[in-house]
Amino acid sequence: MGPGKPIPEMGRSLADLLADLGDIPTWRIPLRPPPGTATEEDLIAWRRTPERWLFELADETLILKPPGFAQSIVAGLVGSEVQRFVQEEDLGVGLAASAWYRLRKGLVRSPAFSFVSWERLPGGKVPDVEIANFIPDLVVELPRDGHTEQEIARKVREYFEAGVRLAWVIRYPERTAAVYHSPTDVQQVEESGALSGCDLLPGLRVPLASLFKPLEHPTRPK
């Protein structure tokens, strides 16, 4: 049996696991705990280290959230716009990227930003928990180096299966975005366009160019 050929008696391999997770690069998967054995307790334990590592949990495997400086700025800007709108309309709360959501047993995701309506919050207030059992209405993802198209597609599908109503995927440095109403109903947005709150947040409009403009200083005259 040549190299790269599966061994039937061996069962699933690491390659199978990585493919299921979206063909993510191996550097995002820690060996402690071994892939396929991780729990929510491991997720929390890594977050409590001095480095405050942020992982997600899927298929009993920890997945590192790859860092991205520019993406973190964009996340803060889009979060500010959404937060301002929902506060003015008293619709709910916005949460930053450190918020974990238990989409189902064994599946914990942490979008770059999320909005949760008052109706979805238990008792109409934000609970003091490390992993939320409620599902956000809006999620925002900002792919960066280390993310794959397959991974983002899987995450979008998981979000909607859990009950998310709207998803924005913002891409930098491509300066484009996608507004998802479902995993298959998607609207592509160019830099000249805007992110829309659609039926979820009617009246909310975030010009895409406004999110990228602060990342580059205009050329100064000499």
Integer Cα distance of 29 and 71 in angstroms:
21
Quick check: is 2 in a domain? no
- Is 53 buried (19+), middle (13-18) or exposed (0-12) by CB count in 10 A? middle
> Residue 67 — very low, low, confident or very high, per pLDDT cuts 50/70/90?
confident
In this structure, which amino acid lies at residue 147?
A: H
**Average of pLDDT values for 173-181?**
96
For the entire predicted model, the pTM comes to 0.91
- What are the tens digits of pLDDT across the range 153-170? 999 999 999 999 999 999
Is 97 within 8 Å of 113 (Cβ atoms)?
yes
| Helices first, then strands: H and E counts in the chain | 5, 13
Quick check: is 218 in a domain? no
Q: Residue 173: is the preceding peptide bond cis (ω within 30°)? A: yes
* Domain limits for position 156: 69-213
166-171 and 138-141 beta bridge pairing: parallel
Is residue 127 located within the same domain as residue 86? yes
Residue whose token pair is 């190299």: 3
Higher pLDDT, 39 or 145: 39
CATH number of the domain bearing residue 90: 3.90.1570.10
How far is C-alpha 89 from the geometric centre of its chain's CA atoms?
Answer: 25
Average pLDDT, the chain: 92
From the CB of residue 171, how many other CB atoms can be counted at a distance below 10 Å?
Answer: 19
Quick check: is 221 in a domain? no
